[in-house]
Structure 1
């Protein structure tokens, strides 16, 4: 009894389902280098959220009760809003939209996004799965090296 979990830069982990949910979650957090306090879950290939993060007794219930053998799952991070704020889901598989565009869209729909109308024209690669109140960390120009900046300014005559 095993399943496959995808995460990171196209990494896969084969996991035995005959274990406790808590052991499975702890193992996956270590493999994908999540923080212990992070809440993670799985999304199956049809886009169904497995809700392992809501199992009442993860230390005593078997993972095989919730997951199917020989299935493929995507590891996701669950970001629960405080108070009345909604829950968001973030893929822990890089470039989910490239490998599974339909799952990227499903994950987007599972997350509550009040700006949905504004983002309809964007591709799944351009969307950010994070709370809408989270500030952006800066423009890409701030992260360019000095040589890249000089090259870019020599190529462009327009000020940015």
Structure 2
């Protein structure tokens, strides 16, 4: 009894579902290098959220009760909104839009207000959790003005000309 979970840069993990929900999610967090306090869940190929993060007794409930063996799932992070902010769901599989556009769309619909992407292609929440591969350098306009400033400062005549 196993499932396949996709995450990261096209990584796949075959996982036995004959275990407790808590053990399964802890294992997946370690594999995808999430923080222990992060909340993760799974999205099936049809776009259905498995709601493992909502299981009342994850330490005693078996994962096979919620997951169908031999199925393929996408690992997602659940970001619970503070106060009245909505819960957001973000894929832990890089480039979900390219590999599974219908699932990316479904994940956006599940999030009441999906996080906005910036010039890096990463959401603000992904940057917050350190998922971006490159440091955030700002908008293209800011980059352009910084490059122009360097050019002016390094010119032989100096910045006043």
Q: TM-score, normalised by structure 2?
A: 0.75
Deviation at 1:130?
A: 5.3
Q: Residue in 2 aligned with 1:11?
A: 11
Q: Residue in 2 aligned with 1:49?
A: 49
| Partner Cα distance (1:114, 1:52) in 2 | 20
Q: Residue in 2 aligned with 1:86?
A: 86
Are the counterparts in 2 of residues 89 and 129 from structure 1 also a CA contact under 8 Å? no
Structure number with larger C-alpha Rg: 2
Segments of 4+ moved more than 4 angstroms:
126-131, 140-144
Deviation at 1:54?
A: 0.6
Q: Residue in 2 aligned with 1:139?
A: 138
> Would you say how many aligned residue pairs link Structure 1 and Structure 2?
136
Are the counterparts in 2 of residues 43 and 74 from structure 1 also a CA contact under 8 Å? yes
5+ residue gaps, structure 2: 129-135, 152-161
5+ residue gaps, structure 1: 120-125, 154-160
Q: Residue in 2 aligned with 1:158?
A: none
| Partner Cα distance (2:112, 2:99) in 1 | 23
| Partner Cα distance (1:60, 1:29) in 2 | 19
Deviation at 1:26?
A: 0.4
Q: Residue in 2 aligned with 1:102?
A: 102
Are the counterparts in 1 of residues 21 and 52 from structure 2 also a CA contact under 8 Å? yes
Q: Residue in 2 aligned with 1:33?
A: 33
Are the counterparts in 1 of residues 88 and 114 from structure 2 also a CA contact under 8 Å? no
Distance change >3 Å, CA 50–CA 114, structure 1 → 2: closer
Q: TM-score, normalised by structure 1?
A: 0.75
Distance change >3 Å, CA 13–CA 79, structure 1 → 2: same
Two-structure CA RMSD over aligned residues (Å): 3.0
